[in-house]
Structure 1
Amino acid sequence: MRLYALVFLLSVLLPLNKSLLGGLKFHGGEKPIVQRTSYNVFGTRSVSFTNKFDIEFNISLYPTTEIGYIIRIKNEKSNRIYNLYYDAQGDDYKFEFNEEGKDNLIYARIARKELINLHWFKMKLSFDLVNDSIKLTIHNRKFGIGNVDLPNTYYPIVLFGKSDHIIDVPSFAIKDLSIGNNEKYIFPLKESEGSIVYNKKGQAIGKVTNPEWLINDSYHWRYKTSFKSKSVAGTNYNPKKKEFYYFNDDSIYIYNVRSGKTEIKVFDKKCPVKLILGTNFIDVKNDKLYSYEVFYEGQYHGATVASLDLNTYQWTPETSQQLPTQLHHHGSFFDPDKQQYTIFGGFGSMHYSKKFFTYDIENKEWRNRDGFSGDFLSPRYFSSVGYLKEKNSVYIFGGMGNESGQQTVGRRYYYDLYKVDLNTKKITKCWQIPWNKDNVVPVRGMIVLNDSCFYTLCYPEHFSNSYLKLYRFSLIDGSNEVLGDSIPIHSDKITTNANLYYDDQLNNLYATVQEFDDDIASDLKIYSLAFPPITADEIKSYSKKGMSIAAMWMIILASISVLGIVYLVNKKIRQRRKANEAGLATLHDADGKVKALTKPNSIYLFGDFMVRNRNNKDITYLFSAKLKQVFCLILQYSAEGGITSQRLSNVLWPGRPAANVKNSRGVTINNLRKALGELDGIELIYEKGCFKIIQTNEFYCDYVRCLELISNHDFDESREELIGIITRGKFLKHSDHELYDSFKEKMEQKLEPILLLEIEKSFHAEAYQTTIDLAEALFGIDPLNSTVLSYQIKAMQRLKMTEEAMIKYQAFVIEYKNIMGTDFPHSLKSLS
């Protein structure tokens, strides 16, 4: 193996040494008892320490459940047990270290504001066996007690989370655990799967039940929540308040990423700006959101910039000034010290722009920021822009456009980076790189964290259905790599947009995807990814064998002289990759709860269309819009004996000459057979003049399984399976072509009466969470069903979800007014 292969391996594994990665998250009181997390650090192994020992770890606290026991320490040689109890109810964090069943030994009270923005902080328990004292250290705050009567030699059994009869567990996570004195047991807790825990040397020590390994959150984008608006809406993130905003002219959704809770505020007075694109920026220092539109077609004399006070939610018009032209997909940055917001580039009036326009908050006016010198920066849109406050410099990456700025000349994709020094107004071209993959554009947001690299999301905007991928680019030479998995995006409209945000306190990246169907109504989805993100190769290297960072570096260093070891390491990684791809993947709901398991050889039509091959790899990308249409048509008619070739042709290629249609149909059918060839248990056949799909038990389709379940009206044993299918999302969720209409309608006609019956049954059986889940599925069929709303509101109130019930009611009222044009006639109290 050549030396460059070793260098590449070093560069790939280097990010693994970052202390922010990994951790073990504990499920607490938000889960049923059987699903709560329990971690026995030493398992069946007996260990002992003389004179002293410490238990030290990093801890992260979650708001989901803020009360319960974090750790228990037993002694094999005595009946004395110590525990650490945590209570975050109220304004302070309270920690009580107790001798279990006897007395409180240490009481620590820390102001919430001191810890709330610390994603991780140190916690340490020190046992001085000679001087009979115990100390508790929490983020550099020390608490202690003496005269505890400790043995000179201690045989600890260390338990985190649920253990024995102790079932009150908070939501928390730990990592970098070490126990001992001069001789320490060190547990990085960076496994990606399994219930066996390994120490730093790679030895299997200890066991955990119901774990959530956080290393996966650095690779898999986690879906958080989604919102809808029937009118034009804008979105943004406030890192100070940890809130996402999704606003239109009459209301705003406020989603807190820390608590996972959503509020909705209806404005007393509508936004003074007539929203066209929903563009906006946030002044964090003054708690204001600014909505702006740069240009209007025709006569418009209203406000073009307005500020929203994020404490009172009152709008204030700022200016009515317009720019000379519309600027779709411009880049932007905000200087909080100068109180200036600057946009760059954009597309409008058949031209690409290369101008900088700055809005001055104090003077309430736009001005052309000119006078730049240096390298030529061609007109473009879809550029990614990042601002370095410390150096008062801006980086501009990529986009589309041309040197003349005229659309009629044609456009080209750019893969270049420019640095703009705002002090000297000098533009410097940093690099331009070749691109041999599908053409992509970046999102507006660029995260520049240091002088070496930046992060942005890229996607091929010229495909209706594609994927956003996170890239890390070198600022020095443009070398890059893809991090994390991908995020689906439907980009038929020019108003569709995505963005990337970074919260350095929570160590999280956030992505927003706002999809438009008609340039007015939009859906917003929010995703999160733990920082720093990792590559596909890196996530696979965290195998269930628990290879430690130290062990990997020893292997790598040894490989410099013994290249054969490198080969063995690569071979093992490939084997693990193959094993991982053959495993089951999980789907999560907005709260991160496991909703369903994806299966090999499967196709999902509820929610996002998805296809998994025989190795459980996602091969949805093989199914173009046309292949998806053909598959769904044939599947729909297969139960009736199939669909004739003539009918298939008339639906898919109406009005086309027969000869042309025959050729197109043949190519499409062959491509569909090729794609389905990646799965076992399913086959597309042509029999008696009809195309139809046949399948065996090896193949799974949620649509087919749903029909099987609802055909049996007494499905008590399979109720949870049905709920798992329908709560994945609306049937053919993003499939809006008219040829799907009858398919959707027939499915909804079969589902609705059964679900209405089941929602009533579940409520009277006091299965309130099931009632809520069924209601969401029914709203996908009939969004204005007041009976369903009543059941959902009452179920939420029975579960003490008072705030959620209020939000649901307010959202329903707004939706009702938008569609019906009149006020909803029932109060929240009348539905309770």
Structure 2
Amino acid sequence: MIQMLRPTAISLIFIFFSLPAFCQSFGLQFSSHEAVQEKRTSFNLTPGKPACFDQNTDLQFDFMLRSNMPIYFGYLLRIVTDQNRNIDIVYNERQRLLNFITGEKFISCPVDSIGAFNQWNQLTIRFDTHNKTVEFLANGHALGKSAIETNDQLCCRIVFGANDLPGFQTADVAPFLIREIKITENKKLRYHFPLDENGGNEAHEQVSDKKYFVANPGWIAPMHQNWKKVYSTQTGSVPALAYNKEKDILYIISGDSLYEYSPRNDAIRITRLSEKRRDMAYGNQGIYNHINNKLYNFYIDEHSVSVYDTLQARWDKSFHSDPLTIFWQANKFISSTDTSLYTVAGYGQLHYKNLIQRYSFNTQRWDTIHPKGDFFMPRYLAALGMNASGDTAYILGGYGSKTGDQMLNPRHSYDLLAFDVRGRQFTKLTELKEPEHPFVFSNSLILEPGTDNFYTLIYPNDRFNSRLQLIKGSLHNTDYEPMADTIPYQFLDVESFVDLFYSPVSKKLLAVTLHTGKDTVTDVNVYSLNFPPNKMIAATTTATTESAGKWLYIIGGILLALAFSRIFLKNRKKKSEKTDPATDINHQHQEAAAPDASHLAPSITLAPSPAVDTTAIYLFGQFEVLSRDKQNLTASFSPLLKELFLLILLHTCKDGKGISPEKLLEILWPDKSSKDARNNYQVNIAKLKTICEKIGGININRDTGHLRLLAEEENIFIDYKRFAELTGGAYTINNQYVTALLELIQRGGFLQQLHYSWLDDYKSEVSGIISDIFVKYATTADPEANAELTLRFANAVFLFDQLNEEALVYKCKSLMILGRHGMAKDTFSKFAKEYRENYGVDFEKTFVQITGNS
């Protein structure tokens, strides 16, 4: 029996009764088909015995579907009564229906896709224990009733998402969000789960003050509180940035490539230019024109504008590089009123600018605008945002002087002006109260749709090691408040740049920092934060200007206190360790792999590369050892010392026990007498200890009767140990995880140039782990959006297993998606040839079979 409400009626229900999506930023996000079955989210409200109710009972919660997911089919909720009758809520992706199921019957509710994805909707399951019925409601509106088999007392198990209830197991989870779960009996609150946690794997139930386990939780609050580094790279030139809000693509424009980052699926695509540009001029900037859907790169000093040719992967012109632009940190916008690019303000050669210049896309000519109205002080380091109609630009603050001369009383500015494009006129709207500690702004001002609110990043410009803080303000008053946490930022006005973008598709803010060092090598870092952001967590936070201005120093004080605490504890630890053995390398590994909150949210955000003052030992690719001061000591190891060192190191990392001297004698000197073997052993151990002293921070210890490699301090980087940490605990295989793993393994196969019989098991184990992770990633990732990363991963797998068939399949498919058809066929031909040479038979599959292309 199928009941279906009319689409018009349901649309009205969801439009007029749904809750605002952005009023609260907390809840629980469920991992769905994008994750392997073991990593999907499950929340069991009845983990012990069933919950029993004597009187009429309501189960109520808010839900929303996640955006931009590849598959939507699956369960939101399953209830199983003590008569083994199921009551389910399932989303039918194909028909866009929310099905409320009772046994073999269901009520279908057409859900408007916009409302379901962008708004919280309240669902209620109402049990009438007297009449033995269950009623389903959406936002307080009745959808329908069904009869249920139950005793006078209703006893049931309640599970959101995946469940393993006997006879009712399912791993088909819809990608959804929930919050505010409430169960009331006879209108009395029995259970209340707000789901406002910030981490961990437990949800707090407020009525009983108990905690309930959640498997693979995705807490929403931290996603709106903590900036997440989603991509980083280096370019050999001074890059420019642009953003396409319709396609949800962030462009990073470099001299030899175009980087396209998609926040929707956390994917990066890198297109190598068919014609490289020698130099990227200092001060060059980028912008995407939504009027003609073209990407531009421009250089104000030359009044030069270059357009990108997508088909030929080239720019139509290059710029003449000059190490000194006179338009550092200039702002820009495109106005739809006259189809023109405007550039505003800037700094160079000891002068601040208030110049407004215009480039017409229609005539391809530049001119200068002479504005009327209120005074616009010459400045740079200001923020600029455009209204939705494209006729008004808002410019906030900056640093400059009334005359434009850097020598004559330069100062910070906090005025907010509106520039009317049609009237060519500035109007001062307000001025933020001058804070106790001055700051400047990111290049862009984000205007929140449908409100007078704005967001931008601020930071002090009087220091190199700075931090970016997001603030929220209004176009019509002086108050503002800090939001979310901070982002590290290295600032030097002629070497640094920061911009802020808003993704309406992904509902995220993107912060991008650039820092150009020697030889024009630029560090690019991209951070994301779910929108709307939560307020900064600080007891002293208020909406006033003075208190908001103190955030930098509050945070600085906290960090300083933590630093002193760490130094104190470290010194204390060193004193206590004078008579104790040094810390065991494997012991450190076990701590890192412990299932605490920080590990369950994997530590893949930490770069696997060693710090500057870190001893580094590399086992992937070529064996290499670098001392703390970055001296390469690899040549200090003779072939025998190298094998001896690796035996001790790998056995220590494996189980912490190390290796016995007897085992070393058996492996290294099997053909010598016992006396000669021990003499060789003692001489080479002494040599190895000397080398360890040169390396710094490590030594060889035999306190347990076994030889172990011990770490005397924290600054020791061993890529194999880092690999074990990444692959040995709980982790989610996503783009960020794979990128972190690739940074380790793309150096080459495990000890690829060394061939010891005892090493084969280690190599086989590493190869197997990498292959398994690759298959899990490749089978769940979006093939088109993640083609570049899948290709990189496949290439890395081939470093460990040249005849890996899964790597062949996904490499060829990725190459085809990227348009590299010839390379795909060459890859297949080479693989087939090596396969026959190794196995003496032809590879059983054809190119068409593995790619689906001729």
Report the TM-score when normalising by structure 2. 0.61
* Percent identical: 18
* Pairs within 5 Å for 1:420-819: 420-422=418-420, 423=423, 425-428=425-428, 430-431=430-431, 433-437=433-437, 440-449=439-448, 453-460=453-460, 463-473=463-473, 478-491=478-491, 494=494, 496-504=496-504, 506-518=506-518, 520-537=520-537, 594-596=601-603, 606-607=608-609, 609=611, 632-633=628-629, 701=714, 703-704=716-717, 720=728, 762-763=766-767, 767-769=771-773, 797-798=806-807, 805-806=814-815
Aligned length, in residue pairs:
655
Q: Distance in 1 between matches of 2:215 and 2:741?
A: 33
1:493 touches 1:517 (CA, 8 Å); kept in 2?
A: no
Unaligned stretches of 5+ residues in structure 1: 1-15, 542-573, 599-603, 613-630, 641-688, 734-746, 774-778, 814-822
CA distance in 1, matches of 2:417, 2:594: 41
1:61 maps to 66
Residue type at the aligned position of 1:198: H
1:39 aligns with 2:43: yes
Contact 1:43 1:205 in 2 (8 A): no
2:330: which partner in 1? 330
How far 1:345 moved relative to its partner? 0.7
| Structure 1 residues 154 and 254: alpha-carbon distance in aligned structure 2, compared to 1, 3 A threshold | farther
Contact 1:67/1:87, CA 8 A, preserved across alignment: yes
Deviation at 1:492, TM superposition (A): 6.0
Q: 1:263 to 1:690 in 2, by over 3 A?
A: closer
Amino acid at match of 1:348: G
After TM superposition, give the deviation of residue 503 of structure 1 in Å.
Answer: 3.2
| Residues 16-95 of structure 1 aligned to structure 2 (within 5 Å) | 19-41=23-45, 46-48=51-53, 50=55, 53-61=58-66, 63=69, 66-76=72-82, 78-86=83-91, 88=93, 93=96, 95=98
Provide the residue aligned with 2:383 in structure 1.
384
Between the aligned partners of 2:159 and 2:743, the Cα distance in structure 1 is 46
What is the DSSP-based 3-state SS (H/G/I as helix, E as strand, rest coil) of the residue aligned with 2:603?
Answer: strand
Report the CA distance shift for 1:697/1:137 in structure 2 as closer, same or farther (over 3 A): farther
**Does the 8 Å CA contact 2:89/2:99 hold for their aligned counterparts?**
yes
SS of 1:537's partner is: coil
CA-atom RMSD in angstroms: 5.9
CA offsets 1:295-317 (integer angstroms, 9 cap, x no match): 34xxx9xx6242667xx788896
**Structure 1 residue corresponding to 2:248, chosen from 222, 242, 248:** 242
- Supply the AA of the counterpart residue of 1:222: K
Q: CA deviation at 1:257?
A: 1.9
Shift of 1:39: 0.9
Counterpart contact for 2:29–2:176, Cα < 8 Å: yes
1:188 corresponding residue in structure 2: 194
Matched to 1:105, the amino acid is: F
CA contact (8 A) 2:698 2:712 kept: no
Displacement of 1:523: 4.4
Secondary structure of the structure 2 residue equivalent to 1:467: strand
**For the structure 1 residues 391 and 233, does the alpha-carbon distance in structure 2 shift closer, same or farther, using more than 3 Å as the test?**
closer
**1:348 paired to 2:336:** no
Partner of 1:216, secondary structure, is helix
Check 1:137–1:469 CA distance in 2 against 1; reply closer, same or farther (3 A cut).
same
Show the counterpart of 1:417: 415
2:225 matches 1:216: no
CA distance in 2 between counterparts of 1:266 and 1:690 reads 43
How do residues 269-418 of structure 1 correspond to structure 2 at under 5 angstroms?
277-284=283-290, 286-296=292-302, 304-306=305-307, 326-375=326-375, 377-389=376-388, 392-407=391-406, 409=407, 412-418=410-416
Q: CA deviation at 1:501?
A: 1.6
Determine the C-alpha separation between the residues in 2 that align with 1:794 and 1:491: 48
CA contact 1:586–1:594 (8 Å) conserved in 2 = no
Equivalent of 2:170 in 166, 169, 183: 166
TM-aligned CA distance change 1:203 to 1:457, over 3 Å: same
Residue 173 of structure 2 aligns with an amino acid whose one-letter code is: V
| Alpha-carbon spacing, 1:23–1:395, altered in 2? closer, same or farther (3 Å) | same
The separation in 1 between residues aligned to 2:725 and 2:222, in whole angstroms, is 33
Look up the match of 2:653.
Answer: none
Q: Is the 8 A contact 1:635 1:692 kept in 2?
A: no
> 1:357 offset after TM fit, Å?
1.8
Per-residue deviation at 1:330?
0.7
CA distance in 2 between partners of 1:490 and 1:502 (Å): 22
In structure 1, what is the Cα distance between the partners aligned to 2:250 and 2:611? 27
- Equivalent residues of 1:399, 1:442 under 8 A apart: yes
Is the alpha carbon distance of 1:34 and 1:605 closer, same or farther for their aligned partners in structure 2, counting shifts above 3 Å? closer
**Structure 2 residue aligned with 1:252:** 258
Larger Rg: 2
Structure 2 vs 1, CA of residues 124 and 401 (structure 1 numbering), >3 Å: closer, same or farther? same
- d(CA) in 2 for partners of 1:360, 1:452: 29
2-structure distance, mates of 1:20, 1:390: 28
Partner Cα distance (2:317, 2:481) in 1: 43
1:105 is matched with 106
Distance 1:472 1:762, change over 3 A: same
User: Cα gap change, 1:750/1:798 in structure 2, threshold over 3 Å: closer, same or farther?
Assistant: closer
* Residue aligning to 2:704: none
Alpha-carbon separation, structure 2, partners of 1:693 and 1:18: 51
TM-aligned CA distance change 1:290 to 1:537, over 3 Å: same
Task: Verify the 8 A CA contact 2:102 2:146 in the aligned structure 1.
Answer: no
Q: What per-residue deviation string (whole Å, max 9, x for no partner) do you get for residues 401-440 of structure 1?
A: 3333245x27845141231241471342732544544x64
SS at match of 1:354: strand
Matched with 1:621 is none
Offset of residue 759 of structure 1 = 7.0
String of CA shifts for 1:499-543, please: whole Å, max 9, x gaps.
1122356442221223434575544332211233234536999xx
CA distance in 2, matches of 1:494, 1:264: 27
Q: Give the stretch that moved more between structures: 217-226 or 273-282.
A: 273-282
Secondary structure, counterpart of 1:633 in structure 2: coil
Distance 1:460-1:610 versus aligned 2 partners, 3 A rule: farther
CA contact (8 A) 1:52 1:128 kept: yes
Displacement of 1:201: 6.0
* AA matched with 2:263: V
SS of alignment partner, residue 295 of structure 1: helix
Q: Residue type of the partner of 2:296?
A: Y
TM-score between the two structures when normalised by the length of structure 1? 0.62
